[in-house]
Amino acid sequence: AKSIGGGTWRFFAADMRPRASQTAQLESDLRGALSRQEFLLHYQPQIDLRSNRVVGAEALLRWQHPQHGLLAPDAFLGLAEETGLIVPINEWVLNEACRQGAAWRAEGLGDLRIAVNLSPIQFRREGVETLVREALRTSGMRPTSLELELTEGILLGYDKQIVTQMQSLRALGVTLSVDDFGTGYSSLSYIRSFPLHRLKIDRSFVQDLGSDPSALAIVRTIIDLGHILHLQVLAEGVEEESQLALLRSEGCDEVQGYYFSQPIPSEAFAVWLTQHGL
């Protein structure tokens, strides 16, 4: 159920109608989901390989749909972006993640860095800096504990406006990372022009680490590139011990993946954290 833009369903053949009306239904569900408080965040730990401690958590959006159950972002993010609903939804995500981060700190769970995914649409809007500042202010979250994950698409070329936007976010004290690094087409020469803290190696490379020599070469290259540019490097999608060992020996700074934990609800995450005390 994707890319059914404004009114296009009318031109579909009869046998396509159920699909289109399903999308229309999902869209109308999506419009009411915020006010019905159907969104929630799951958290996945991020582990520092030098200290072997949990240093952060990525906040990942979920939709508790009244009929379809718990939905992952793939099921509705496309629609949210097309309809522009992604803006208020992600505003909620930002506020909720900051609230949770500040609450965990108050509960003595340590000074976790919380990472929030920003959609390109949202990033390009003028108000993003105000939005982040307000979320920090109302939650009491420490700015240095908030990380914003940007997709490589934002960094397609050197754009003065994008750099200014990033600098104003950096001025708030938050850190910026590039998500899914290696899958897009960001020009390597531009990467150094951006005020970044971290590269996140896409999980497709991590998954092929043991089987595909070129995946190892790519991972090694990203780690070296990151370090030359004074960036931290985090590998996503670590599922196996062998992948972890390779990443460790290659000098990767941080890891995240099912090997440690799937993304889980906030209460479960707090329990996991105290139990593992990594």
Which is nearer to Ca ion, 29 or 252 (by Cβ)? 252
Which is nearer to ligand C2E, 226 or 257 (by Cβ)? 257
CB of 275 closer than 8 Å to CB of 255: no
Interacting partner of 29 out of ligand C2E, Ca ion, none (Cβ under 5 to 8 A depending on kind):
none
User: H-helix or E-strand containing 239?
Assistant: none
Least CB distance to Ca ion at residue 179 (A): 4
Interacting partner of 73 out of Ca ion, ligand C2E, none (Cβ under 5 to 8 A depending on kind):
ligand C2E
Whole-number Å distance between alpha carbons of 71 and 78: 13
Interface pick for ligand C2E out of 85, 154, 237, 244 (rule CB under 6 A): 237
* DSSP code for 40: E
Q: Is 151 near Ca ion (CB under 5 A)?
A: no
**Maximum separation of any 2 CA atoms in the chain, in Å:** 60
Least CB distance to Ca ion at residue 60 (A): 8
Q: Is 158 near ligand C2E (CB under 6 A)?
A: no
Interface pick for ligand C2E out of 28, 53, 130, 258 (rule CB under 6 A): 258
- 55 conformational bin, left if phi > 0, alpha if psi -120 to 50, beta if neither: alpha
User: Which residues, in sequence order, are bridge partners of residue 226?
Assistant: none
Which is nearer to Ca ion, 64 or 204 (by Cβ)? 204
Buried b (16+ CB within 10 A) or exposed e, 193-222: bbebbbbbbbbebbbbbeeeeebbebbeeb
Residues 41-70 that bind ligand C2E (CB under 6 A): 44, 60-61
